[in-house]
Structure 1
Amino acid sequence: MKKRLLVFCSLLAVLVLSACGSSNDDSAEQASEDKVWEAIQDSGKITVGTSGTLYPASYYPEGSDDITGYDVEVIKEIAKRLDLEVEFKTSDFNNMLASVQNGRVDLAANDIGVTDERKGKFAYSEPYKYSYTTMIVRKDDLSGINSLEDLKGKKAGGEATTGYSEIAEELGAEVVAYGNTTNDVYLRDVDNGRTDLIINDYYLQSLALQAFSDFNITIHPDFKFDETANAAIMPKEATELKKQVDKVLSEMREDGTLTKLSEEFFGGADVSKQPDEDIPTVDEVLEQQQEEEK
């Protein structure tokens, strides 16, 4: 009887210790998940990575030291509603993501596309911009591109590691990588023949064409593909920060703030809503072209 009682007590102790261990582990995990948000609350400030060179998402108006743009103003409004100060740190895209991972910034906002690959490394806010992908080429000859297969051997301007550069590489183009460079540099290089094309967001490219109408460039009339969603990006473990940001974004969508900001920076267009038309994927465009060639 004593032996049975001893065994029972031992098992009970193991269960209690296991339960305590589980509780402690959960608490530790929760604490770890809350570190980013706790640090923000302690400092009263949120630090944001952005480029400052991507019109109209994140840029400095000529003659001004004050950063603005659609993404920038969305983040400013989020910070305001969370009663936080906001500090922007500018860098190229690659360093921006590294800064999120190493804790130099709390989140990044710079027309950042939502991709499955990044979802494995980061947390995303709810999207606040929707668009699709287009291609800038020379106006007089479309840079010799009549089908997506013609991209083989062409030079595509872009930042290394972006989804648009990956598309260009997958289609056989050589990516000419730039650092944190303003739009006019990319566009001028297509105009003068240093590069042949730029694959990027439709709305950004449309406004770029308006801003530099003297360049011999246009959006290719035959290609639109890959519907996109853009959002702020933050550390994977920043669950409370994501929760707070998403809550404010939902309020901004409902009260019309996102629409108002979008129309201000995108020439009256509401990029906070998904496109009405069906946009094919780049693979579907390729398949259709191959069928037409048979």
Structure 2
Amino acid sequence: MQSRWSRLVLAVFMIFAWTGVSGAAQTVLEEILAKGELVVSTDANYAPQSYLNDKGELEGFDVEVAKEVGRRLGVKVRFVTPDWDLITAGKWGKRWDLSVGSMTPTKERKQVLLFTMPYYSSPAQFAVHKDNTAIKTLEDLEGKTIGVAGETTNERYLQRNLEIEDVQVVFPTWEPGEIRTYPTDANAIEDLALGDGVRLDAVFTSRQTLAEAIRAGCGSGCPIKMLGDPPYYEPLCFALDKSRPNQETFLAKLNEIIRSMYDDGTLVNLSMKYFHTDLIPKL
């Protein structure tokens, strides 16, 4: 009788032990596949990467890339649009699974985030009001007020503390008079469009963002023009929350999907569609 009871107790213990180990060992990829949904954070005001169309739906390069990732995973994609500083701060608490938002893998961000291989690259670009005749070179930005989105690589560049893995960043020899930060690049561009020196003397963002603003007509015809050559190019990656455990297989799967999108031309086609140029780095 005692032996039989001992075997029963042992069997129950083994069931609970197996269940506990099984639950603890579930990976992020398994969670997403079981749920059938991938929650992606992105920006709702960052055309042409991501923006709200006339129907109030998210559209853009990053949005289509994220949807394609979901398709290749076999799950639906749900988008959320938290503030950029919340995304880059990490510790997401499972509010979203992945950031597809044109993020550069800086040394600072790598302390709290994991990054995939790059899925495209971005040239940084200055612009001034089209009526400006005094600022002809980047050196002429000495002492000027420059608008930039806060908590971005562009702000870090102006502050001379930008570090990007495998990218040699050469900082400017000149000093801005004021670095004025904005919630988004679009807000900075809107202020520059108000007039030459009215609020800003220049903006610093990505070339494709400026090209889209000029094409779409920010404000009244978007009276801005690009200035000089891009001071640097930056690799852009998906980001994951480093504080969330068991992400290894998810990260590996994302890299596999990105590589397949390179190989079959999907990323190049989307780059041409939204940027009108090939911004996809060669592997």
TM-score (norm 2): 0.76
Q: For residues 48 and 125 of structure 2, what CA distance do their matches in structure 1 show? A: 16
Q: Which runs of 5+ in 2 are unaligned?
A: 1-20, 161-171
Structure-1 separation of matches of 2:82 and 2:145: 24
Q: 2:272 aligns with which of 263, 275, 288?
A: 263
The CA RMSD over aligned residues, in Å, is: 2.4
Q: 2:261 aligns with which of 241, 252, 265?
A: 252
Q: Distance in 2 between matches of 1:75 and 1:219?
A: 29
How many residues end up aligned between the 2 structures? 238
Answering whether residue 24 of structure 2 is matched by residue 44 of structure 1, we say: no
- Give ranges in structure 1 of 5+ residues lacking alignment: 1-27, 275-294
CA distance in 1, matches of 2:27, 2:142: 47
| 2:214 alignment partner AA | L
* Counterpart code for 2:222: F
What secondary structure does 2:102 align onto?
coil
**Counterpart AA for 2:63:** V
- In the alignment, what sits opposite 1:187? 189
Contact kept, 8 Å, 1:54 with 1:110, in 2: the verdict is: no
The 8 Å contact of residues 158 and 164 in structure 1, kept in 2 or not, is answered as yes
Distance 1:98 1:118, change over 3 A: closer
Whether 2:64 is the aligned partner of 1:59: answer no
Matches of 1:142 and 1:157, distance apart in 2: 19
Cα pair 1:143 1:197 within 8 Å, conserved = no
What whole-Å deviation, never above 9, does each CA across 1:91-114 have from its counterpart, x for those lacking one?
A: 221122346643321111112122
In 2, Cα distance between equivalents of 1:82 and 1:256:
18
Partners of 1:60 and 1:215 lie apart in 2 by 19
1:49 and 1:99 in contact (8 A); partners too: no
Structure with larger RCO (C-alpha < 8 A, sep 6+): 2
**Structure 2 counterpart of 1:155, one-letter code:** T
Task: Tell me how far 1:142 sits from its aligned partner.
Answer: 5.6
Letter in 2 for 1:226: Y
Contact 1:133/1:199 (8 A) holds in 2:
yes
Q: Which residue of 2 aligns with 1:243?
A: 252
Check whether the contact 1:113–1:163 (CA below 8 A) recurs between aligned residues. Answer: yes
CA distance in structure 1 between the partners assigned to 2:115 and 2:133 by the alignment:
36
Deviations 1:233-258 (A, max 9, x none): 11235222111111111111111111
The one-letter amino acid of 2:179's match is V
Which has more radius of gyration? 1
Contact 1:137 1:143 in 2 (8 A): no
Q: Is 1:129 matched with 2:129? A: no
CA contact 2:88–2:109 (8 Å) conserved in 1: no
Instruction: Give distance in 1, aligned partners of 2:248 and 2:48.
Output: 29
Q: Deviations over 1:177-200 (max 9, x none)?
A: 222x472x3223113221222212
- Using the alignment, how far apart are the partners of 1:99 and 1:271 within structure 2? 27
Change (3 A) 1:38 1:227: same
The 1-side partners of 2:257 and 2:138 are apart by 43
Greater helix share, 1 or 2? 1
Quote how far apart the aligned CAs of 1:158 are. 2.3
Give the one of 192, 196, 204 matched to 2:209: 204
Q: Aligned residues: percent identity?
A: 26
Write out per-residue CA displacement over residues 186-225 of structure 1, whole angstroms, 9 at most, x where no aligned residue: 22311322122221212222222222272331110x2322
